[in-house]
Structures are given as C-alpha cells and as structure tokens.
Amino acid sequence: MNLIWSSLVAFGRFWYRFIVGDDWTVAVAVVAGLLVTAFLNARAIAAWWLVPILVVVMVTVSLGRSSRPTHVVREIKEANKQ
C-alpha cells in the first residue's frame, strides 16, 4: 500500500512541476484562456485565436520579469518596504 501511495504522490508532483514550473502565473493564465475559449465555443463564438494570443502575451510578460536585473528587483523590494 505504501508503494502505491508514494507512486501516486510522485506522479502528482511530476505533473505539478511540469505544468506549473517556475512561473505559476503562466499556468493559471493558460488554464483561464482555455476555460474562456471553451465558454465562447459553447456559445458558437469562434475563439480559436484567444489561446495563441494569450500564450504570446504571457511568455513576453514572464520573460520580462525573469530578465530583470537582480539589483533592480532588490531596489523595488526595498522601496516597497518603506
């Protein structure tokens, strides 16, 4: 029983790390985009274009955040503390 439980936990952790990865906001945005697309398609509105645009925007935002120099991030955090 312990082997089954540990295998299920490992499987869940793998998928969490694979889908969410380093930036959970991208995963949430993609899921939201898929839900909105499904909602619009259920009402016979063509929404195939929504997810590609959302992915491009989220990748741009994510790269912008990750490529910010660390000293700028540190200064922003210090300014927010005051």
Decide if 17 is inside a domain: no
> What is the span of the domain harbouring residue 35?
23-81
What is the structure's pLDDT at 38? 94
Higher pLDDT among residues 54 and 20, named by residue: 54
Decide if 18 is inside a domain: no
Q: Residue 80 pLDDT > 80, yes or no?
A: no
Residues near 19 by Cβ (< 8 Å), separated by ≥ 6?
Answer: 27
Decide if 1 is inside a domain: no
Decide if 48 is inside a domain: yes
Decide if 7 is inside a domain: no
Confidence of residue 2 (pLDDT cuts 50, 70, 90): confident
For the stretch 22-65, pLDDT in tens is 778 888 898 899 999 999 999 999 999 998 999 899 889 888 88
- What burial class does residue 55 get, using C-beta atoms within 10 Å of its C-beta: 0-12 exposed, 13-18 middle, 19+ buried? middle
Decide if 76 is inside a domain: yes
- Number of domains, the chain: 1
Q: How many whole angstroms separate alpha carbon 39 and alpha carbon 15?
A: 25
* Residue whose C-alpha is closest to residue 62's, from 5, 31, 24: 24
